[in-house]
Amino acid sequence: MTGANVSRFLDEKAVSQPDVPALLVPRGRQPDGSIDYLKLSFLELAAEQNEWARRLRAKGIGKGSRVLLMVKPGLPLIAICFALFKVGAVPVVIDPGMGLKSFLNCVRKSQPEFLVGISLAIWLSRVFRKAFRSLRGKIKVGGPLERVSDSFSEEAAESTATDDLAAVLFTSGSTGAPKGVSYEHGMFEAQVEAIRTQYSIKPGEVDLPMLPIFALFNPALGMTTVVPEINPSKPATVDPEKIVRAIQQCQVTNSFGSPALWAKIGSYCDLHDIELPSLNRILMAGAPVPPGMMKQYRRILPNGQVHSPYGATEVLPVSSVSDLEILQGAADRTAKGAGTCVGKILEGVEARILPVVDGVMDASFLNNPLGVGEIGEIVVTGPSVTKAYDGLPEATSLAKIEKGGRTWHRIGDLGYFDADGYLWFCGRKVERVLAGDAMFYTDCCEGVINAHPKVFRSALVARRKNGTVEPAMFVELFKDQYPASKDDEKALLAEMKELAARCQVTEAIKEFHLHKGFPVDVRHNAKIHRMTLAKELNGA
């Protein structure tokens, strides 16, 4: 299908709701302490998009051009990204917080032809010339408030098909090397429709996206984007007062963020007895959401709900679960070792549970899915499922199954379906622990220990000793719950062992260690780096 260019979403909103605010970017404080915003309507944002499109074309950027985008969250990020879509170019987006070495490796792999970025990005390209040697042009961009247009002027969009490459988005690399995921125009459109339908999002709503890439959905959904005051490379350093102020001042109705961010915001709201009545929904993703946090937000959101969408960079969304579904039964099962309920599969998406295989799977594996309650590998197909990793044929063959013209993605997660059709997440495949003949799954085991009132989170790892493997558990407590003495620590660890002994899933776990702060992913600051903890335990 032609005419599938996703830049049309912004063009359509510039016509249907030209005067509605499209973007609010913080630029300081008013005398009364309120946030001072640069405000742009949908028509003004479309004007910015079109002017950038003209500038990009003047620099030789057109259909198929690969463009490394290194811009801070704000006006230029959204305007330039849609301008790149409009001219048919392919933005390459790499997480800025993954560390310099990993970042430069991603640049080498993606082979961008152009760099559009801030001064620091231009400087990096000069210092690390080898990583950027594929470049043949650079465009310098200003800060989050930079405007390039003072009036609207039409600019034609490049004709693109649904299967034309639209962007390359890199995974966070939380359980392996980051990989570029190839997104087609039709996949973005499928994501937009799935999000709109699942969460009943209406034009005119106000969104505060605490992961910058999610702001790109808003022009298609007709939502106002409020840029949060947050460092995207260090999201856990967020000041909750600034987020709460933005929600209250802008009457935010929707927000996306990781559980780690919402934990800080929730604690602040509890401390100051704050409710957030404007919020219709909070989408928490990036890691399992603790049931206790969902219960906490039942008070904070008198008119809204917490939802936890499940998926991956390669396929999102797959399923979704609400706070009520968790609190009305699923949480109790999690505490008994059932894993984490991630909801029912979304309309248009199909998922199966297959026997666990570490190598390539061919189409024949799809013919023998596991039954209800059987733990296996989660594989998914649907209109938003990506077909390949950028320039990585071996990784693609390991992660994809082709059958009947459809691509199935192996998420790398283990789980099962219950008798009611709910999908349960048991943990990452690479993080399972095989000790003798017994298999231990991270989310199943950790759910039992996390039920202890002093536990913030726990992590199952493999203890390797004299050629054998035994399950072991690290435990991170809430900050004010750490023991004051060795005797108190010994008593607390004894409680953990007793808790584990009462559940069949964890009764074989005998080794427990307290930990002051787990290593986590840079994107969400929520996914635990269990492999790093295992190296710490085993002295590797």
Residue 329's domain is classified under what CATH number? 3.40.50.980
Given pLDDT bands bounded at 50, 70 and 90, which one contains residue 526?
Answer: confident
Task: Assess whether 402 and 253 both reside in one domain.
Answer: no
Cα–Cα distance measured from residue 225 to residue 205, given in angstroms and rounded to the nearest whole number: 9
Q: Identity (one letter) of the amino acid at 142?
A: G
**Tokens 């996914």 belong to which residue?**
527
Short-list 80, 76, 70, CA closest to 118: 70
Does position 2 have pLDDT exceeding 50, yes or no?
no
pLDDT band at 176 (very low <50, low <70, confident <90, very high): confident
Is-contact 249 112, C-beta < 8 A?
no
Centre a 10 Å sphere on the Cβ of residue 164 and count the other Cβ atoms it contains: 18
Q: For position 376, which CATH number holds? A: 2.30.38.10
Q: Write b or e for each residue in 56-94: b if 16 or more Cβ atoms lie within 10 A of its Cβ, otherwise e.
A: bbeeebeeebbbbbbbbbbbbbbbbbbbbbbbbbbbbbb
Specify if 391 maps to a domain.
Answer: yes
49 with 91, same domain: the answer is yes
- Is the pLDDT confidence value at 44 over 60? yes
Number of H helices, E strands in the chain: 16, 25
Does residue 439 sit in the same domain as residue 497? yes
Q: Is 39 helix (H, G, I), strand (E, B) or coil?
A: strand
69 and 106 together in one domain = yes
pLDDT in tens, 89-145: 999 999 877 889 999 999 999 999 999 999 999 999 999 999 999 999 999 999 999
Pair 58, 47 in one domain:
yes
Residues 314 and 359 placed together within one structural domain of the fold: no
User: Is the pLDDT at 1 greater than 60, yes or no?
Assistant: no
Beta bridge partners of 285: none
Which structure tokens are listed for 258?
Answer: 């990781």
CATH number (domain holding residue 130) = 3.40.50.12780
Does residue 175 carry a pLDDT above 60? Answer: yes
* Judgement on whether residues 254 and 365 belong to the same structural domain of the protein: no
For range 319-341, the mean pLDDT: 97
Closest by CA to 444, choosing from 334, 526, 327, 294, is 334
What is the distance between the alpha carbons of residues 361 and 333, in angstroms, rounded to a whole number?
32
Which of 379, 413, 430 represents a domain boundary (last residue)? 430
The number of distinct structural domains making up the chain is 4
The structure tokens listed for 505 are 């899933």
Q: 250 near 24, Cβ under 8 Å? A: yes
Pairwise CA distance, residues 12 & 19, whole Å: 13
Regarding whether 129 and 4 lie in a shared domain, the answer is yes
pTM of the predicted protein model: 0.95
Is residue 488 scored above 90 in pLDDT? yes
Query: How many CB atoms lie under 10 A from the CB of residue 500?
Result: 22
Residue 273 burial (CB count, 10 A): 8
Average pLDDT, the chain: 95
Digit-coded pLDDT (tens) for 180-194: 999 999 999 999 999
For residue 330, pLDDT over 50 is answered with: yes
- Of 66-80, 163-177, 287-301, the one with minimum mean pLDDT is 163-177
Closest CA to 292 of 447, 460, 512: 447
- Cβ contacts of 370 within 8 Å, gap of 6 or more: 353, 354, 355, 376, 416
Written as one letter, the residue type at 295 is: K
- Contact yes or no for 492/140 (Cβ under 8 A): no
> Helix 259-271 crosses helix 240-250 at what angle (to 10 degrees)?
80
Domain membership flag for residue 197: no
Is 72 in the same domain as 88?
yes
Amino acid type, 452 = H
Question: Structural domain of residue 518, as residue ranges?
Answer: 432-538
**Within a domain: residue 182?**
no
Locate the DSSP E strands across 382-454: 400-403, 406-417, 423-428, 433-435, 438-440
* Domain harbouring 523, CATH code: 3.30.300.30
How open is the CA angle 68-69-71, to the nearest 5 degrees? 150
Kindly state the percentage of the chain with pLDDT values over 90.
Answer: 91
Those residues with Cβ within 8 angstroms of residue 219's Cβ, 6 or more apart along the chain or in another chain: 9, 10, 13, 22, 42, 45, 78, 82
Of 324, 347, 370, which closes a domain? Answer: 347
324 and 378, same domain (yes or no): no
Q: Which helix (H) or strand (E) holds 281?
A: strand 281-284
Q: Could you tell me if 231 and 267 lie in one domain?
A: yes
Show which of 367, 395, 430 is a domain's final residue: 430
Q: Are residues 420 and 482 in the same domain?
A: no
Q: Is residue 217 part of a domain?
A: no
Contact between 59 and 114 (Cβ < 8 Å): yes
Angle between helical axes of 75-87 and 42-58 (0-180°, round to 10): 60
Residue 220 lies in a domain: no
For residue 66, tell me if it sits in a domain: yes
> What is the maximal distance between C-alpha atoms in the chain?
73
User: Looking at the DSSP assignment, which residues form a beta bridge with residue 350?
Assistant: 381
CB-CB contact of 78 with 84 (8 Å): no
Paired strand residues for 67: 91, 114
CA distance linking residue 510 with residue 497, whole number of Å: 6
- Residue 192: inside a domain, yes or no? no
CA distance 433 to 447: 16
CA end-to-end span of the chain, whole Å?
A: 53
Give the pLDDT of residue 540.
64
Give a yes or no: residue 402 inside a domain. yes
**pLDDT tens track for 261-280:** 999 999 999 999 999 999 99
The residues facing 410 across adjacent strands are 379
Q: What is the pLDDT of residue 3?
A: 67
Residues in the chain: 540
